[in-house]
Chains A and B, each alone.
Chain A
Amino acid sequence: MSDVLVVSEHRRGELRDVSLELLTAGRELADALDGDLHVAVVAGDVERFADELNRPGVDRIHAVENGEEFDHTVYAAAVEALAERIDPAAIVTPNSVNGLDYAPAVAERLDVPLVADVLGFEYDADGGLTVTREMYGSKVETTVAVEGDRFCLTVRGGEFVPAEGVGDAEVGSVDIEAPESGARVKGFEEVGGGDVDIADADVLVSVGRGIGEEENLDLVEELADALGATLSSSRPIVDNGWLPKNRQVGQSGKVVTPDVYIAVGISGAVQHVAGMKGSDTIVAINTDPNAPIFDIADYGIVGDLFDVVPELVAEFE
């Protein structure tokens, strides 16, 4: 029997959605491996989190009380200690900013292969584990065969449905000894704020890398004005310092759900889509017909934004 250990994630008192998705992924993997599903909850209000994680399919929850917030030294020590105790075939963590702050260290320490940003997997006793993941900025999908019978996977959020219902897992608390951390969290800062909250807008004109140069932003500003819309952007525009951080839509920026979202020159990387897929109507203008933004768009124009946008502005003037 080969067990699975899922490591849950929480932040500032809230269990993050990906934790419940990982229960589904973990159960699937445990079924394929014919093993039990163990779930670790580390730091914070572990009792309350353990309650929330107690969903059908979970066999055992290990609560590690140690500090309030994420600390990679504590997480790595906790997962290592649990791995020694459970000897799981698979360790599954979120492919999140914090997941990537300890999972590679754990895999290294336990000397097991790591596959990051996993979308799906198949396991059979003869062939072992095969993982599905993307490469080249989501332009291609790949399958990767993993050697051996021990591995660590970081699983992308939003790929598995969250586990629902009330389970009957055994909950136990685990004491671990973590060394003193050489990376001390001093606090948190919320970025953004400022002049406008793009999450409040009914209509967003959102600009991406396709705009090319900073001075071309005038063009999309005109469009936003003509439509009575608010201007937002994808990450590269903010990275370049062309728009402030409070305009950024996506995983590390704001999650928006306007009535209409008009993506101009945005290819639709997964991190961006995570921030706007809940919009009622999505319009995409892009030169690349294969751009992933068209996968989630309701209306698309395959064309050059420098041709299309001025015409669209003219329609509304």
Chain B
Amino acid sequence: MKVLVTVKEVGEPDDDFEIEGTDIAASDLEYDLNEWDDYAVEAAVQLAEAGIADEVVAVTIGPERAEETIRMALAKGADRAVRVWDDAFEGTFADVSSKVDVLEAVVDDEEPELVLSGVQAADTAFGATGVALAERIGFEHAAVVNDLELDADAGVANVHRELEGGIEELTEVDLPAVLTVQTGLNEPRYASLRGIRQAQRKEIAVTELEDLGLSAADVESTLTLTEMYEPESESDAEIIEGDAGEAAGRLAEVLRDKGVGA
């Protein structure tokens, strides 16, 4: 079966960052593969290694800068990638439906039987695209999967969904399906040197909306980011000053007062 993995390059803010307009300044962001997607890529590659998946295709909606990140997914074992971008996305806050418009078109082209998607993107933290995509393309789905066993013959995925409070739901999901992958599902590998070399030769198909039969109007967002600001600190913590030794000494006093270590 073919497995499609949705990946996103996200910016991780430095400890000190500036906000420019309605986003964090690009110079204060470290770009990397979204953490959740790293687990999704690993799950897909493991399915390929187990002989269950015969092709793993990574898809991203992202600018040219994102290619470095996509190459990492290829270096870890994805066979090829599709990068969709269009000026229409520049400077907008894409809504779920616009992303699904794009992914639906890619699914139509690729015809995967399984779509793996990170639970959420670390930057925007919506956690909605995978399930919305499943609805659009008529796939079954399961959100927040932290255990996965695929039974290709039976046409089902046996998953655990990680609920709140240390409870997992054990669910049998019919294929084709979209699963949103939680961190901890597996141990994402580091790309090997060989993998990195091979990734240079793998295809990243750069695709515009027009190539997918879409127009800018199709992906017009219903959401506008109007403000971004640092939340006011509500801290009333007593910050213990001094060098490490002094601070540890003062903290030890506090802890002893509370009966710790007595």
Determine if chain A interacts with chain B. yes
Which A residues between 281 and 313 are near B, CB-CB below 8 angstroms? 281, 283-284, 287-288, 290, 294-304, 307-308, 311-312
Chain B min CB distance to A188 (Å): 6
Do the beta carbons of B247 and A301 come within 8 Å of each other? yes
Do the beta carbons of A188 and B167 come within 8 Å of each other? yes
Given contacts A140-B228, A252-B162, contact A104 B128 (CB under 8 A): yes
Q: Which of A239, A251, A303 has the most CB of B within 10 A?
A: A239
Query: In the assembled complex, which residues on chain A have CB atoms less than 8 Å from the CB atom of B12?
Result: 136-137
The CA-CA distance from A213 to B43 in the complex, in Å, is 23
Do the beta carbons of A192 and B166 come within 8 Å of each other? yes
**B147 (CB) vs chain A CBs: closest residue:** A189
Do the beta carbons of A190 and B141 come within 8 Å of each other? no
Given contacts A115-B223, A116-B128, A304-B244, contact A142 B172 (CB under 8 A): no
Query: In the assembled complex, which residues on chain A have CB atoms less than 8 Å from the CB atom of B17?
Result: 139
Chain A min CB distance to B262 (Å): 8
Query: In the assembled complex, which residues on chain B have CB atoms less than 8 Å from the CB atom of A238?
Result: 184
The CA-CA distance from A187 to B171 in the complex, in Å, is 7
Query: In the assembled complex, which residues on chain B have CB atoms less than 8 Å from the CB atom of A236?
Result: 183
Do the beta carbons of B13 and A139 come within 8 Å of each other? yes
Do the beta carbons of B164 and A96 come within 8 Å of each other? yes
Contact with B along A24-66 (1 / 0, CB 8 A): 0000000000000000000000000000000000000000000
Do the beta carbons of B132 and A107 come within 8 Å of each other? yes
The CA-CA distance from A78 to B160 in the complex, in Å, is 24
The CA-CA distance from A253 to B251 in the complex, in Å, is 28
Chain B min CB distance to A285 (Å): 8
**A119 (CB) vs chain B CBs: closest residue:** B231
The CA-CA distance from A96 to B167 in the complex, in Å, is 13
Choose, from A82-90, A166-174, A223-231, the stretch at the interface.
Answer: A223-231
The CA-CA distance from A11 to B166 in the complex, in Å, is 13
Contact with A along B94-136 (1 / 0, CB 8 A): 0111001000000000000000000100111111111110111
Please give me the 6 A-B residue pairs with the lowest Cβ-Cβ distance, nearest first. Answer: A311-B248, A307-B244, A315-B252, A182-B174, A104-B128, A105-B135
